[in-house]
Amino acid sequence: MKKIYFVLPGFSRRPIGGYKIILKYANLLASENYKVGIVYLEDKRYPKYSWKWLVLKYWTKKGPNWIKLNGSIKTYTIRNLKKATIETNSEDIAIASSVETVLPTEKLFSNAKKFYFIQDLEDWNVDKEYLFETYNKHFTNITISRWLKEVVDKHTIGSKKTEYIRNPIDTKAYRVLKPIEKREPFKIGMLYHKAPYKGSKQTLETIMDLKKRYPQLELIMFGTAESPKKLPEWITYHRNATQAETIAIYNNISIFVSGTIKEGFGLTGLEAMACGAALVSTDYLGAKEYAINNVNSLLSPVNDYGALQKNVELLMKDDSLRTSLAERGVQRAQEYSWKRAYDKFKKVIFKSK
């Protein structure tokens, strides 16, 4: 039987959106008895046989604690790419998951069928010229959003086709548990992230400014980063929240706020919608995969945090509008099931060359 390998930049003990998607696909394939491997590229992160290296080896074998991997999935920890080899044949499939995994995937799986799972415009670690070069390898490119497909197509030479498989969520898990109409209108939530393109710093400042006019406002944040220093008592922060905890947060808030500047898709916005939180977001390209202004969300221009603030304020004061947007958001989120995405994923990777 053919083997399917997913190549990741390295092991992560913290939940990352892109990793969640990749590892879920791996689990689904393994559940159907496909032979699946996860390749972690560590590139000499720690000296060989040091205690840190041994701990890392242990964790890669055990698997991340934020998602349970199918027991049949085999893991590979690559420390020295020049010396590493993985025995494969032309029937096997290798999937690069990010820009830094493209060349290693090309080397490790020279005779396998290769795919490039593109989850964002990853120009933060490499220059754009090199990034666009990676789109023209002998890989089948797959993007998670339409805007990324347009970018990849624009910078792809020849008639090479880019596949589009939009990101899914677990619609059975991410659902309404607390009635939308019974939620506190001044209880809002957001993802906290240190990366500048997430806009968390500006979003937090925007909400703190709102607190001056609405003393009853409460904020619940979650993320993997360390908590911002000296948070006031009205802000609660959950670090490394589990899936169950984030679902509880989404169900405990009325409004989910995203001030993102740039992102490939934006899973948290869709997850929040599925759980009945009204989405107030910037209109960054990823959000447009599921958010429609004045239909199932309120969107404002990227970097216009004044407009974002006005939209939050509007929903805190207008319970009828908040409820109607949230209800339509729930309906929209139901279209993003894992079954739909997984069926298309299999068609793409298993079709003949």
- The per-residue DSSP string of 157-207 comes to -TTPPPEE------TTTS---S-GGGS-TTEEEEE---SGGG-HHHHHHHH
Q: Confidence class of residue 320 from pLDDT cuts 50, 70 and 90?
A: very high
Q: Which residues of 74-90 are buried (b: 16+ CB within 10 A; e: fewer)?
A: ebebbbeeeeeebebee
Number of domains comprising the chain: 2
What percentage of the chain exceeds 90 in pLDDT? 82
DSSP 84-121: ------TT-EEEE-SGGGHHHHHHHTTTSEEEEEE-S-
- How many CA atoms lie less than 13 Å away from 238 in the CB half-sphere? 18
Mean residue pLDDT of the chain comes to 94
pLDDT bucket at 56, cuts 50 / 70 / 90: confident
The reply to whether 43 and 148 lie within a common domain is yes
Q: Is residue 50 very low, low, confident or very high in pLDDT (cuts 50, 70, 90)? A: confident
Q: What is the pLDDT of residue 60?
A: 85
Q: For 275-303, how does the pLDDT look when each residue is reduced to its tens digit (9 = 90+)?
A: 999 999 999 999 999 999 999 999 999 99
- The predicted model gives 145-174 an average pLDDT of 94
Q: Is the pLDDT of residue 217 over 80?
A: yes
140: left (phi over 0), alpha (psi -120 to 50) or beta: beta
Predicted structure pTM score: 0.92
Mean pLDDT of 230-245: 94
pLDDT at position 89 is: 87
Give the pLDDT score at 46.
77
175 in a structural domain: no
74 confidence band (pLDDT: 50, 70, 90): very high
Task: Give the CATH number for residue 201.
Answer: 3.40.50.2000
Q: Are 117 and 22 in contact (CB under 8 A)?
A: yes
Residue 125 and residue 19 in one domain = yes
Look up the domain containing 187 and give its range: 180-333
| Amino acid at position 55, single letter | V
Is 174 among the domain residues? Answer: no
The answer to whether position 221 is within a domain reads: yes
Whether residue 241 sits in one domain with residue 124: no
- Do residue 346 and residue 324 come from a single domain? no
Burial of 134 (0-12, 13-18, 19+ CB in 10 A): buried
Q: How many CB atoms lie within 10 A of CB 170?
A: 16
What confidence score (pLDDT) does residue 352 get?
Answer: 55
149 burial type by CB count under 10 A (0-12 exposed, 13-18 middle, 19+ buried): buried
Coil/strand/helix, residue 129: helix
Bigger pLDDT: 62 vs 36: 36
Residues in Cβ contact with 280 at an 8 Å cutoff, skipping those fewer than 6 apart: 255, 256, 257, 258, 297, 298, 300, 308, 311, 312, 315
Do 259 and 132 sit in the same domain of this protein? no
Indicate the DSSP class of residue 138.
S
Whether residue 239 is found in the same domain as residue 255: yes
Predicted local distance difference test score (pLDDT) of residue 59: 85
Considering the domain architecture, whether residues 244 and 343 belong to the same structural domain is answered as: no
pLDDT at 54: 84
Given this model, what pLDDT does residue 83 score? 87
Is residue 23 domain-shared with residue 86, that is, in the same domain?
yes
Are 285 and 345 contained in the same domain? no
Q: How far apart are CA 160 and CA 260, in angstroms?
A: 31
Compute the average pLDDT of residues 327-347. 97
In-domain check, residue 224: yes
Q: Tell me phi and psi for residue 125, to 5 degrees.
A: -110, -15
Confidence of residue 14 (pLDDT cuts 50, 70, 90): confident
Q: How many CB atoms lie within 10 A of CB 269?
A: 28
- If asked whether residues 269 and 134 sit together in one domain, one would say no
Which band of pLDDT confidence, cut at 50, 70 and 90, is reported for residue 238?
Answer: very high
CA pair distance 164, 214, nearest whole angstrom: 43
Residues 197, 246: one domain?
yes
